[in-house]
Amino acid sequence: MRERKMDALQWRILPVLTLIASFLLFFYFQYPSQQYPKNCSLLPFQHYWIASKRIVTPQGVISGAVEIKDGKIASIVKEEEKHGKIKSENVIDYGEAVVMPGLIDVHAHLDDPGRAEWEGFPSGTKAAAAGGITTLVDMPLNSDPSTVSRETLELKIKAAESRIYVDVGFWGGLVPENAFNASALEDLLDAGVLGLKSFMCPSGINDFPMTNASHIKEGLSVLAKYRRPLLVHAEKEQELESNLGVEDGSNNPRSYSTYLKTRPPSWEEAAIKDLLTLTKDTRIGGPAEGAHLHIVHLSDSRSSLDLIKEAKSGGDSLTVETCPHYLAFSAEEIPDGDTRFKCSPPIRDAANKEKLWEALLEGHVDMLSSDHSPTMPELKLLDGGDFLKAWGGISSLQFVLPVTWSYGQKYGVTLQQLALWWSERPARLAGQKLKGAIAVGNHADIVVWDPDVEFDLDDEFPMHVKHPGISAYLGTKLSGRVAATFVRGNLVFEEGKHAPAVCGVPILAS
């Protein structure tokens, strides 16, 4: 347990009541209530210092303190320069705990509005805050309706407003219905989506049909003007072995290997080959210069990754993410009938996982995202365990930080790599110039965590997602416990407790 140490001196000298009264007065005159919702921070002040021996900055890990004023980072002072520079009495000393930029999850499905029984903005962002995620970008599908127009984005914003514990941005959908209509896409982008997302295979959601290369080309040409990215689910259906899906001894639907055979790496490879004929246009001087293509949740670390490396070295504006579940689990370990592990593209073999880590460490995979995609437990078919019929999607939002850290120990993952994969590069993808790093002038979006504290992720652990029982990480032991989360300077979560009111705001591109 880490204790927050206020400056002891002032507490001793002044009677507590006077102090509280002066805070209230200060607060009353200093800040209009609109700007800082009542009770949305567990701290009674807006100007304070966070001190620690391990503060992760873009320049390195330092011992010192971060000054926070009115939601922004006002200064950063190293230990040796601290003397005389800290004028505020409000110092929160976290000792050895790590102070890092809050995580930015660019891929989460919160299913709100329309399927809030699957997750919803309140529970999803509560879990995010408890997991050190200070910003997330919501996917345009799994809610009902999908976010494919100005009107449907407005429904999203309405569903999120005053109900989110962290900041939330939105991707819009690129679908056949709007892809050839530039004014429809411009309308959606003008309304504030941070970029677009499309599928190259059926999405599993009826009002979110797949796109082909022509749709994607059109989308990129519109996005170029806005300098916002297109995110693509890169799997393209290819012919399978003819007896798949037939239930005989070798094709038991309760066996994970049966499911794995239905979505081979060749699907990812085929989609990426198609995409790379288009990303050439994003090169400097190309017809879609200014556009950027981002491949979501890469699973295949072999041929698909080789293609991506080649395109990047040719100058294509291209990035790729993978998810903790592809780095933590391998196909061989997934028990029969345990559909908590079903997602697409699928979790592949152990050797694939090793190569994925290697690619991440070498910088060929740019960033991480949760792809948190929960549903109702009934749709996971946990009782029958049919991998072919169960809903595909992994529930993970609250645990991506300890998971990346715990499974990354073996590979020598550093704190700075975590900040790069989870904050700095995701901020750039989402166009958030004031987020993603502990730097002067940035939003004070910060996670404080204890890398060495271990915990069992069992039924007793306080999970904030709507359906804790479907999490693939249930039953694991993790290290890295989140102690506190700050969103724009507001302490929204500390020691298992959330602020009584919400502070998150919808993030709209302008």
Ligand X SMILES: *[C@@H]1O[C@H](CO)[C@@H](O)[C@H](O)[C@H]1NC(C)=O
Residues 358-387 interacting with Zn ion (rule: CB under 5 A): 371
Select from 150, 229, 228, 230 the least CA-distant residue to 191.
150
Least distance CB 109 / ligand X (angstroms) = 25
Instruction: Pick what 212 binds: Zn ion, ligand X, none; C-beta below 5 to 8 Å, kind-dependent.
Output: ligand X
Whether the bond into 345 is cis, omega within 30 of 0 = yes
Q: What residue 409 binds from ligand X, Zn ion, none (CB within 5 to 8 A, per partner kind)?
A: none
- Partner that binds at residue 183, options ligand X, Zn ion, none, CB closer than 5 to 8 Å by kind: ligand X
Asked if 314 contacts 283 with a C-beta cutoff of 8 angstroms, the reply is: yes
439 contact, one of Zn ion, ligand X, none, CB 5-8 Å limit per kind:
none
Q: Which residue number, 186 or 386, has a Cβ lying nearer to ligand X?
A: 186
Q: For ligand X, which stretch binds (CB under 6 A), given 178-186, 353-361, 372-380, 404-412?
A: 178-186
Cβ count near 363 (within 10 Å): 12
Which distant-in-sequence residues (6+ apart) come within 8 Å of 496 by Cβ? 130, 462
SS3 (DSSP) at 290: coil
Nearest partner of 197 among 228, 230, 152, 148, judged by Cα: 230
The two beta strands, 229-233 and 196-199, are: parallel
Q: Which C-beta is closer to ligand X: that of 213 or that of 307? A: 213
Total site size for ligand X, rule CB under 6 A: 9
Backbone angles phi, psi at 164, to 5 degrees: -115, 135
Q: How far is the CB of 139 from Zn ion (least distance, A)?
A: 5
214 binds, among Zn ion, ligand X, none (CB under 5 to 8 A by kind): ligand X
Q: How far is the CB of 183 from ligand X (least distance, A)?
A: 5
- CA trace torsion 388, 242, 303, 293 (10° rounding): -60
* Segment interacting with ligand X, rule: CB under 6 A, options 67-75, 98-106, 175-183, 263-271: 175-183
Taking CB within 5 to 8 Å according to partner kind, which of Zn ion, ligand X, none is near residue 371? Zn ion
Structural element, H or E, at residue 305: helix 303-313
Q: Which is nearer to ligand X, 270 or 403 (CB)?
A: 270
Choose between 115 and 215: whose C-beta lies nearer to ligand X: 215
Q: Binding string to ligand X for residues 135 to 174, with x set by CB under 6 A, is what?
A: ----------------------------------------
CB of 308 to ligand X, least distance (A): 21
Q: Which of 10, 59, 181, 206 binds ligand X (CB under 6 A)?
A: 181
Q: Which of 51, 100, 48, 47 is nearest to 79 (CA)?
A: 51
* Degrees to nearest 5, angle at CA 108 with 197 and 335: 110
184 binds, among ligand X, Zn ion, none (CB under 5 to 8 A by kind): ligand X
Site residues (CB under 6 A) for ligand X, limited to 200-219: 212-215
Q: What is the 3-state secondary structure (H, E, C) of 453-509?
A: EEEECCCCCCCCCCCHHHECCCCCEEEEEEEEEEECCEEEEECCEECCCCCCCEECC
Q: What is the DSSP letter of 408?
A: H
Minimum gap (Å) between residue 125 Cβ and Zn ion:
17
Degrees to nearest 5, angle at CA 147 with 145 and 148: 105
CB of 184 to ligand X, least distance (A): 3
213 binds, among Zn ion, ligand X, none (CB under 5 to 8 A by kind): ligand X
Distances (CA, A) of 10 to 13, 49, 91, 345: 5, 15, 11, 57
Which amino acid, one-letter code, is at 139? Answer: M
Which of the listed partners (Zn ion, ligand X, none) does 89 bind, with a CB threshold of 5 to 8 Å by partner kind?
A: none
Instruction: Report the 10 Å Cβ neighbour count for 95.
Output: 12
Select 141 or 148, whichever has its Cβ closest to ligand X: 148
CA-wise closest residue to 340 among 387, 407, 388:
387
Q: Which residues, numbered 462-491, are part of the site for ligand X (CB under 6 A)? A: none
176, 314, 363, 475: which one contacts ligand X (CB under 6 A)? Answer: 176
State the minimum distance, in angstroms, from the CB of residue 293 to ligand X. Answer: 16
Q: What are phi and psi of 409, to 5 degrees?
A: -55, -45
Q: Which is nearer to Zn ion, 268 or 450 (CB)?
A: 268
**Residue 496 binds: one of Zn ion, ligand X, none (C-beta under 5 to 8 A by kind):** none
- Smaller CB separation from Zn ion, 173 or 192: 173
* 184 part of the interface to ligand X, by CB under 6 A: yes
CB of 388 to Zn ion, least distance (A): 19
Query: Minimal CA–CA distance to 195: which of 234, 227, 165, 166?
Result: 227
Of 77-85, 183-191, 253-261, 358-366, which part binds ligand X (CB under 6 A)?
A: 183-191
User: What span, in angstroms and rounded, lies between the C-alpha atoms of 465 and 126?
Assistant: 8
Q: Which is nearer to ligand X, 170 or 259 (CB)?
A: 170
Residue 318, classed as helix, strand or coil, is: strand
Among 18, 30, 162, 183, binds ligand X (CB under 6 A): 183
Pick the closer one to Zn ion by CB: 54 or 342: 342
Residue 392 per-residue DSSP state: P
- Binding flag, residue 187, ligand X (CB under 6 A): yes
CB of 60 to ligand X, least distance (A): 48
Q: Which residues bind ligand X (CB under 6 A)?
A: 176, 181, 183-184, 187, 212-215
Q: Which residues bind Zn ion (CB under 5 A)?
A: 371
